[in-house]
Amino acid sequence: NAGVTQTPKFQVLKTGQSMTLQCAQDMNHEYMSWYRQDPGMGLRLIHYSVGAGITDQGEVPNGYNVSRSTTEDFPLRLLSAAPSQTSVYFCASSRTSRYNEQFFGPGTRLTVL
Amino acid sequence: DQQVKQNSPSLSVQEGRISILNCDYTNSMFDYFLWYKKYPAEGPTFLISISSIKDKNEDGRFTVFLNKSAKHLSLHIVPSQPGDSAVYFCAATTYSGGGADGLTFGKGTHLIIQP
């Protein structure tokens, strides 16, 4: 089992550019989510999905889109990158939405210039 | 307004001694609490959790205590080992929330185990 994988590990964007952060899990987990971590802050929920075809917003969804076409993949799209989106992004999954011991990926460090 | 607070940004403990990490919460709807450990350049890894119907949960060297009336929980690590040096995040959620709440995290405490 690879667990939760994220690509890329690092990315530098210019303001206004778009990109997709990839997340995949091979544990057949129903629930997947995206968090961002800013310096000196805890992780904050961006978007989540309780199963394929179902997504919803978390605490800080503005500027991000998600989709869940398969159980395994949960990409996060930045539509028009802004410096405020400079952060470390973590994808997580758990067996079901009620099973809260989430497994986290290694993170993507994003810098927006 | 921070709903989960870890008021100690860092904590230094001698190897072999007890490490006590504290966490306070303000949202009375939280009924499930977790501790995650994070090494640099890695994602958080789950350590231990506790439901609000319990006041203590133990797993090897790790014990979490929950005081609901004080809205306070603590993580005890006994004995502390060099590999325990990491950032520890306290997180809370509503178990019955169906995932909508996700996890609300504190800012973390950097635990340093001194040899």
Q: Where are the beta strands (DSSP E) in chain B?
A: 4-5, 10-14, 19-25, 32-38, 45-51, 56-59, 62-67, 72-77, 86-93, 104-105, 109-114
| CB contacts, 8 Å: B36 with chain A | 104
Q: Do A100 and B32 lie within an 8 Å CB cutoff?
A: yes
- Pair B3, B104: CB distance under 8 Å: yes
- Pair B67, B55: CB distance under 8 Å: yes
A42 closest CB neighbour out of B34, B46, B107 = B107
The answer to whether residue B28 neighbours chain A at the CB level (below 8 Å) is no
A73 DSSP assignment: B
Per-residue pLDDT, B99: 59
The answer to whether residue A14 neighbours chain B at the CB level (below 8 Å) is no
Give the tens place of pLDDT for each residue, B47-79.
Answer: 999 999 999 999 999 999 999 999 999 999 999
Per-residue pLDDT, B70: 97
Per-residue pLDDT, A111: 97
- Pair A99, B102: CB distance under 8 Å: no
Confidence of residue B97 (pLDDT cuts 50, 70, 90): low
Per-residue pLDDT, B2: 86
The answer to whether residue B39 neighbours chain A at the CB level (below 8 Å) is no
B100 closest CB neighbour out of A56, A90, A104 = A56
Other CB atoms closer than 10 Å to residue A93's CB: what's the count? Answer: 25
Per-residue pLDDT, A87: 97
- Pair A8, A74: CB distance under 8 Å: no
Segment B8-25 shows an average pLDDT of: 97
Per-residue pLDDT, A96: 81
Per-residue pLDDT, A99: 62
| CB contacts, 8 Å: A41 with chain B | 107
- Ranges of residues in chain A with a pLDDT under 50 are none
Per-residue pLDDT, A5: 97
| CB contacts, 8 Å: B32 with chain A | 100
In chain B, what percentage of residues exceed pLDDT 70? 95
A102 DSSP assignment: P
Residue B48's closest chain A neighbor by CA?
A101
Which of B103, B105, B107, B109 to probe by mutation at the A interface, max A CB count within 10 Å?
B103
Per-residue pLDDT, A60: 94
The answer to whether residue A56 neighbours chain B at the CB level (below 8 Å) is yes
